[in-house]
Structure 1
Amino acid sequence: MKKVIHRADSRGYANHNWLQSYHTFSFAGYYNPERIHFGALRVLNDDVVKGGMGFGAHPHDNMEIVSIPLRGELEHKDSTGRNEIIHQHDVQIMSAGSGIQHSEYNASKTEPVNFLQIWVFPKLRDITPRYQQQAFNPADRNNKLQVVVSPEQDSGVLWINQDAWFSLGKFDAGEKLSLTPKMKDQGSYLFLLDGELQVGDEILTKRDAIGLSDFEKIDVTVLKPAEFLLIDVPMNLS
């Protein structure tokens, strides 16, 4: 088994006054040659944006971009004509494909929004840009994993142009679960939103993360009530 540990206080940090952003992987002004990506997972930013502020229109191509509001709401606009509000408990995915421009603003003029911005390298390049958004009931992740993103079309969750799965979990103290790879040559990246977990022999606390590859199964014990995001991705980029 191979593992990488990314502690919360080891992440890159940028404070732009209107934006506070923690970068798990190299991004913008933060560069760490040992933290470029985890398999197909390229970016995991933990952003807090002040009321009325946001990211103006900017381009992307050939990237799968997932946004998960943890607190507050985002207003999304893009060059396909979309104009949506992404609420807490929603998950949004955008396939940049052959090229798209978009903006993301705090939908509130007064309250901050905290959201995860996640990029995954695509399986197929230059596809037609696409957008999808879905609300998920948080009760459906109590003491179990709730899949919110999947490569399986018509699965009832958001579709991603990659052999990747995103799952959210909210577990009580004392609960146990086991993680296994979804497919051959896949890795699992667990990002702890809150609480405390023991993953194998590693103890994780709020905003810590662990990446696992070349493994068959690993046991997880919930030491304190915990919420986390689990991302399963291919480790080999072709």
Structure 2
Amino acid sequence: MIGRDDAGRRWSIGEVARTSGMTVRALRHYDAIGLLSASERTASGHRRYTGDDVRRLYRVRALRTLGLSLEEIADVLANSTDDLAAMRALLKAQLHELEAHGARIQRLTHRLHGLLGQIDSASMPDPDQFMTTLEMISMFESSFTTEQREQLARRRADLGPEAVETARTEWAGLVEELLRHVRDHTPVDDPRVRALVHRWDALANRFHDDGDDGEGTKAAARRMWRENSEEIGRSLPWPAGHMRDLVLYLERCRQAG
């Protein structure tokens, strides 16, 4: 237990890590990038976090749950004050996110009740279908903010079921064509490949908003693939390794201009 002084309670980096659920390494990283530094040090050089530091850490963690990157959080904190009004606004935003999450859980609950009703009158679905669905829900929820999920849902609704199905068929054909070029080691600057990549990107753009919002959902989708390619690959009709090779091939094509 760290003692008190006239300025109030102090916490060691280990205590802050245990309480916040973070690692000591992550806290040191926050310090290294200037996002959160311990205000004091002991005579032997150990970090000591003050009440102001703990409040700043809470703001960092809360903003992370709202989908901001560390760079974006640094900008927000640099341009805001640590007062009651700012904290109230942050807490309201976090509460709104939790309420929205609760609403999503409620919708999922209704869907599961519907699935149970189908099971009562039909055969049991393949367990792999349940596992794949659960994995995809988890990845989608953790990769996109609430606002981004709503944007993607609006775009799909605007396109309509028929257009979405047509796009899915077109995309599958593009995958097959591009995989052949990957297997044949076709140079990335080949005009045939460049034309296919142009069609691929144009097709993807239909599902994203224009401007910064669309760039944000595209970046989140790329991040979801990088972090979960193995799980996503299991839900596709092509081997996961082939799809990873294809994504790398697409990146090389875009870099080649």
Indicate whether the TM-score tops 0.5: no
The TM-score with structure 1 as length reference comes to: 0.24
**Larger strand proportion of the pair:** 1
TM-score of the aligned structures, taking structure 2 as reference length? 0.23
Q: Whose Rg is larger? A: 2
Query: Higher relative contact order at CA 8 Å, sep ≥6: structure 1 or structure 2?
Result: 1
